[in-house]
A and B are shown apart, each in its own frame.
Chain A
Amino acid sequence: MTANIQIKLASRVSSTFHLSVDTEVPGTGITGIFGKSGSGKTTFLRCIAGLLHAEGTLVVAGTTWQDPSTFVPTHKRSLGYVFQEQSLLPHLSVEGNLDYVAKRSESISRTARSDIIDQLGIGSLLARSPEKLSGGERQRVAIARALMRQPSLLLMDEPLASLDIAHREEILPYLETLHDSLAVPMLYVSHASEEIARIADHILVMDDGQVVDSGDVSSVMNAPAFPTASQDDVGVLITGKIGERDDHWHLDKVLFPGGEIWVRSHPERNVGQKLRIRILAKDISLSLSEHEDSSFLNKLPATITAISVEDHPAMQRVRLDVGGNTLFARLTSRSVDHLNLATGTRVVAQIKSVAIVN
């Protein structure tokens, strides 16, 4: 069992913004730090790295980085930091950037070094100058460089935010493999819930300089209070397993406690594999009985457990229980009234589409 990271930090950043965090995060796996911009995510990460001075206590992997009488400076903290924007040292080549770390940390074995280079696919870029790289390549080198330090804690500050969608998709698979191979904990800052849903195990939700929610990623993200960028983003995350494949219709059946959902099959996925799917509230409609004449592929019997009106009075959010799993449906107030929906009503949830997260 790896010791949790203990964080109790407070910093008066400006007269109007005050960071105050008192939490513990698991000593393994990826912890997503989520919140809207201006919620203090980056400030929080900078305080952990020692780039900003905060008051308090910070213990990582059993080592005190900070307490009221100690402040270990950044360069003596065993951490890897990936910045949001381009951060390669411009006067050094890619290899020079990697060597810069190697010279300053515990010697890394040749195998470990070439493993990192292979894992991030930067072997062909070593001799290049950072200005000759694409945004995605730069971030891969920056991630490799952070790993070269063999740190006790990896910090990533929106590493994908400065990239376009294509380059984001280029990096995410690397982060997912990292998740499986990485022994050290990672704090991953993002304002994009789908990124966190894809790679994180644990989540801290920040608002106005404070942690407002934390816990296992699916339980936190499935909670009705989970703040989303827009009402369109309300949804749940379900972890399941591919139970069977229908080769004729190219569909996979995903089994999860309480039900099953058909999704499009993919050559890289196999029966038995774990799968995380995300179902958005706007993609669910409700009916009182099962219609054989509808085009919906996935129809799940459900019970309404709560109904709340959204910010706009035309829309309501309905919480459903499907064999112990929570789903959300987004309906117009008119439909809720028309179907006479209330807590306890048994309905059929018709799912229009399912996003496969990983």
Chain B
Amino acid sequence: MTESDFAAITLTITLATTVTVLLMLGGTPLALWLGRSPSRWAGVVNALVTLPLVLPPTVIGFYLLIAMGPDGPIGRITSWMGLTTLAFSFPGLVMASLIYSLPFVVQPISNAIASVGDRPVEVAATLGAGPVDRFFTVIMPLAWRGFLTAAVLGFAHTVGEFGIVLMIGGNIPGETQVISVLIFEHVEALDYASAHILSGLMIVFSLIVLIPLYWRANPGRLLP
């Protein structure tokens, strides 16, 4: 493996870790709100969160690129803050990944919280536990598997994305060149040997991550 291969691996892991941590921190309150909000807007927000599941990554990438451009809303904010554009940068890649991987984190957490139900949470309230206390002492212990699933899927999905990276990040070594893009480059250059190594690594990694996740789930259930 070459130096650029290692750089791509490091960059991919950094990106996926950053995105997973941010998504767990942001996705958990979002999932809690979606599960409990009586607001009719919750349905709309839920649809928005799910959108990346059905849209081609190029569509999201395209609009993000426009938004990050000098005349786009995100671009204006960044230039007002005295920053350069987010497009073709690592922070831009993080932002795009956050949007793209959001449903993979929010949905397992939502499902897990829904399966815990209202009763244990109400019981804890009658026993003197406040909202934060209830989250850490009742929801987390009862729904931990959903949180684990969310983190694993969020990480794995960020590692696996390609289209949106190409649209937003381009292919800058050390900055935006993640493994999936590098494989594409190796193939274009007909360097199949290098493409084999990285692709094989991706398959092994994905299996190592996914098998325990599904192994632990009850047999007969389709989703973790």
Contacts and interface: CB of A to CB of B under 8 A. Distances in A.
User: Do A and B interact?
Assistant: yes
Interface of A: 49-51, 73-76, 79-81, 83, 85, 87-91, 100-101, 104-105, 145-146, 149
B123 A87 contact: yes
A105 B120 CA distance: 18
A304 B128 CA distance: 55
B71 interface: no
Interface stretch (B60-68, B136-144, B157-165, B179-187): B136-144
Contacts of A75: 124-130, 133-134
A89 B124 contact: yes
Given A75-B130, A83-B119, A104-B133, A90 B142 contact: yes
A194 to B, nearest CB: 27
A90 B126 CA distance: 16
Interface residues of B, number: 17
A83 B118 CA distance: 13
Interface of B, helix, strand, loop or mixed by DSSP: helix
Contacts of A76: 128, 130
Contact of B120 (A80, A81, A90, A101): A90
Q: Looking at A73, A88, A89, A146, which has the most chain B CB atoms within 10 Å of its CB?
A: A89
Contacts of B125: 50-51, 73-75
Contacts of B124: 75, 89, 100
7 tightest CB-CB pairs across the interface, nearest first?
A104-B128, A81-B126, A74-B125, A91-B141, A101-B127, A75-B125, A87-B123
B118 to A, nearest CB: 9
Contacts of A87: 119-120, 123
A146 B127 CA distance: 7
A80 B126 contact: yes
B191 interface: no
Nearest to A85: B119
Interface of A, helix, strand, loop or mixed by DSSP: loop
21 contacts: A51-B122, A51-B126, A73-B130, A74-B122, A74-B125, A75-B125, A75-B129, A81-B126, A87-B119, A89-B124, A90-B142, A91-B141, A100-B124, A100-B127, A101-B127, A104-B133, A105-B128, A145-B127, A146-B126, A149-B127, A149-B128
A101 B129 CA distance: 8
B142 A104 contact: no
Contacts of B120: 87, 89-90
Contacts of A105: 128
B147 to A, nearest CB: 14
Nearest to B134: A75
A49 B133 CA distance: 18
Contacts of A50: 125
Contacts of B127: 75, 100-101, 104, 145, 149
Q: Looking at A49, A74, A85, which has the most chain B CB atoms within 10 Å of its CB?
A: A74
A46 to B, nearest CB: 9
A153 to B, nearest CB: 11
A83 B125 CA distance: 13
Given A100-B137, A104-B133, A89 B126 contact: no
Contacts of B137: 100
Contacts of B134: 75
Contacts of A80: 126
A76 B124 CA distance: 12
B128 A89 contact: no
Contacts of A100: 124, 127, 129, 137
Given A79-B126, A87-B119, A105-B128, 13 more contacts: A51-B122, A51-B125, A74-B126, A75-B134, A83-B122, A87-B120, A89-B120, A100-B124, A100-B129, A101-B127, A101-B128, A104-B128, A145-B127
